[in-house]
Amino acid sequence: MALKFPNSMDDCIYFTNRTLENNTGKAIAWVYRKPCPKCKKTTMGKPVVKGKVKMRAEEYVCSGCGFTEQKIEHEESLNVEIQYTCPKRGNSDEATTQYKRKSWQGVPAYVFECSKCHEKLGLTKKMKAAKKKKVADEDAESDEA
């Protein structure tokens, strides 16, 4: 398995670069924009109104043909791609997991497994960012770049 590191943040609907468990591990993770299943010409994203991306929108649209998908359905059809260094033994590898938060150590996270020690690792929301932007906590994800 060889993941392709994104060329540009614009290619992604999610991107994060962070440490895991007290700085002993680290992870870079991203979710590529989904190619429009209808026109197949461009990729989908949050709707843009007057030049501004509506981060809180409950749907994703194709800028080419206008095809719309509900947020949850859309996101759950995508994968998070992860390059990580495991906090346990320092194993570095790649993983993919569904773009859907699951319960991990009592908090919602994108959960993946270390290929070597099979430890379950999780990418949680960045709490600081979420607190700072209480009104738009979903936005915090996109600001993590």
> Which residues form the interface with Zn ion (CB under 5 A)?
36, 38-39, 62, 64-65, 67, 86, 88, 91, 114, 116-117, 119
CB atoms within 10 A of CB 14: 21
Residue 141: name the closest of 31, 47, 60 by CA.
Answer: 31
Please say which residue, 21 or 132, places its beta carbon nearer to Zn ion: 21
User: Could you tell me the two tokens for 108?
Assistant: 């919602």
Please say which residue, 41 or 132, places its beta carbon nearer to Zn ion: 41
Is the separation of the CB atoms in 134 and 127 below 8 Å? no
C-alpha distances out from residue 126 to 20, 32, 48, 49, Å: 11, 20, 25, 27
Residue 72: name the closest of 55, 58, 57, 61 by CA.
Answer: 58
Please say which residue, 67 or 104, places its beta carbon nearer to Zn ion: 67
Widest distance between CA atoms in the chain: 49
- CB 26 → Zn ion: shortest distance, Å? 12
Owner of token pair 């319960």? 103
- CB 2 → Zn ion: shortest distance, Å? 19
- CB 95 → Zn ion: shortest distance, Å? 11
Please say which residue, 48 or 136, places its beta carbon nearer to Zn ion: 48
- CB 4 → Zn ion: shortest distance, Å? 22
- CB 101 → Zn ion: shortest distance, Å? 21
Please say which residue, 123 or 140, places its beta carbon nearer to Zn ion: 123
